[in-house]
Amino acid sequence: MFRICRSSLRIPLVFLLLPAFTLSDFFNGGSSNTVEETEWFDLSYPLDEDTVFFPGQMYEQFNLTQDIKGFNQTSSGNFPFWYATFSFCMSEHGGTHVDAPYHFNKLGWKLGEIPLKRMVDVPATIIDVERDVFVLKHPDEFALEVKHVLEHEAKFGQILTGSVILVRTGLSGAAADWLVRERHIYGIGIDAPGLDIGNNKGNPVAHIVTLGAQVYNIENVANLDYLIKKTRKQTPFGGTLSNCNLRLFVLPSRLSGTGGPARVLAHCKPGFASTGVPAMPLNPNQFGQF
């Protein structure tokens, strides 16, 4: 397990504090179906004492410590300046982070080896199964299946080759295998600490299938509910339409490890991200309940 540790890595805090993007009103007061301006969404959780890790001694919690803080003088003594540095230590697999293929694939890419074309400005789509999860007595038993993917495509169009799939929440091994083989995706992100279903009983099939095919995972993705709200609109017929050409920027550190923390940004442009071929409805009412 690769760790970012205080003894081996010191980074000034200025490099950790990337600017946040401001959001403008998306639907122009609710009167328009088009996005007027490009928008950005931050899908990352902060790294702090509340960062979520898997339980167990093998996952070291996030720790940030102050090294230096105060005013200094130049060698000539006539120009005071502020100077501060911090050190941090943590496991690779905590907070919003990427699982590199090497995590479950001996021959797979390590984090810093994943090609940039698979992580920067790639098409993305959100498969929302929140309602299916909440109706279950034991939500950890839910798994996204191939049928859920096909239902999603019936509404929003076929998933593009080279896409990153964002899921709310839980993925079966069969669905992971189908997305890899049939849609040739680059990555899968999820709003949970792990890609597999909660009660996988030590059988991480979704991890094995995706990482074995060089498809990276993004775990603990933030703000998917907000992103859905801002990029989709209800029709008068009770259905839902995408109002956004969604692109994803996955920005982990260049580590030679099995994973690491990442800034994940979604880029929203006016228009649609489908193949241009209308999706086939699951029933004659394209805009009805599916």
pLDDT tens column, 126-140: 998 877 776 666 666
Instruction: Determine the Cα angle at 168 with ends 55 and 48, to 5°.
Output: 40
Top mean-pLDDT range of 6-20, 102-116, 264-278: 102-116
Q: What is the mean pLDDT of residues 85-97?
A: 93
The answer as to whether 82 is a domain residue is no
Q: Where residue 235 sits, what CATH number does that domain have?
A: 3.50.30.50
pLDDT band at 33 (very low <50, low <70, confident <90, very high): very low
Which residues are within 8 A (CB) of 108 and not within 5 positions of it... i.e. 6 or more apart? 100, 101, 102, 211, 212, 214
- Average pLDDT, integer, range 145-149: 91
Residue 249 lies in a domain: yes
Q: Which residues touch 110 (CB under 8 Å, ≥6 apart)? A: 100, 102, 255, 256, 257, 258
Domain carrying residue 147: 19-46+92-269
2 located within any domain: no
Look at residue 11 and tell me if it is in a domain. Answer: no
Which whole-number Å values give the CA distances from 63 to 22, 239, 269, in the listed order? Answer: 28, 46, 37
pLDDT band at 278 (very low <50, low <70, confident <90, very high): very low
What's the domain count of the chain?
1
Query: CA 275 to CA 220: how far, in whole Å?
Result: 28
Query: Residue 7 domain-assigned?
Result: no
Confidence of residue 89 (pLDDT cuts 50, 70, 90): very high
Q: What is the pLDDT of residue 281?
A: 33
Tell me if 60 is assigned to some domain. no
- The structure's pTM equals 0.77
Average pLDDT over residues 244-250: 90
Q: What are phi and psi of 209, to 5 degrees?
A: -70, -50
In a domain, 136, yes or no: yes
Looking from the CA of 126 toward its CB, the CA atoms found within 13 Å total 30
Residue 213 placed within a domain: yes
pLDDT at 10: 44
